[in-house]
């Protein structure tokens, strides 16, 4: 049985959770590119949600004057999103380790509708 190789991760600048939290105290935007069910299960407070498949349609609102930290579950999808944003002139960084690292570092995770937040 032949399996398709996963696409190679783009070489993009990244930031760890502590660095991201520090950046978010300014005017940096946290952009979550996970799917709706992942977002609904748990996300960082004040994050903006645009699923990766919709990113190219929705990047117009992003100012090239502000930094964007991009997050997914583990950092793979957000690396691709970071590369695309940087190609469009946005100062974007990939959150290393994604929402799993965010949670593991003890950063806040929230969920809507009163459910207990989790990272899926």
> How do residues 17-69 score in pLDDT, each as one tens digit?
999 999 999 989 999 999 999 999 999 999 999 999 998 876 776 767 789 99
Q: What pLDDT score does 73 carry?
A: 97
Residue 90 lies in a domain: yes
Q: Is residue 7 part of a domain?
A: no
Domain assignment of residue 1, yes or no: no
Burial of residue 23, with CB atoms counted within 10 A of its CB: 0-12 exposed, 13-18 middle, 19 or more buried: middle
Q: What is the pLDDT of residue 2?
A: 47
CATH number at residue 76: 3.40.250.10
Q: How many domains does the chain have?
A: 1
Average pLDDT of the residues in 97-118: 95
Task: Decide if 14 contacts 96 (C-beta within 8 A).
Answer: yes
> Which pLDDT value is given to residue 64?
72
Could you tell me if residue 9 is inside a domain?
Answer: no
Residue 24: give the domain boundaries.
14-104
Look at residue 39 in the predicted model and tell me its pLDDT. Answer: 97
pTM across the whole model? 0.90
**CA–CA distance, 11 with 111 (Å, rounded to integer):** 31
């Amino acid at each position: 049985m032949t399996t398709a190789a996963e696409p190679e991760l783009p070489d993009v600048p990244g930031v760890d959770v502590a660095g991201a939290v520090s950046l978010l105290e300014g005017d940096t935007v946290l952009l979550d590119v996970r799917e709706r069910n992942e977002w609904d299960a748990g996300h960082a407070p004040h994050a903006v949600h645009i699923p990766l498949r919709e990113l190219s349609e929705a990047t117009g609102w992003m100012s090239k004057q502000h930094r964007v930290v991009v997050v997914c579950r583990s950092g793979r999808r957000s690396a691709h999103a970071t590369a695309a944003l940087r190609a469009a002139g946005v100062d974007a960084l990939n959150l290393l380790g994604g929402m799993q690292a965010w949670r593991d570092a003890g950063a806040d995770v929230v969920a809507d509708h009163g459910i207990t937040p989790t990272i899926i």
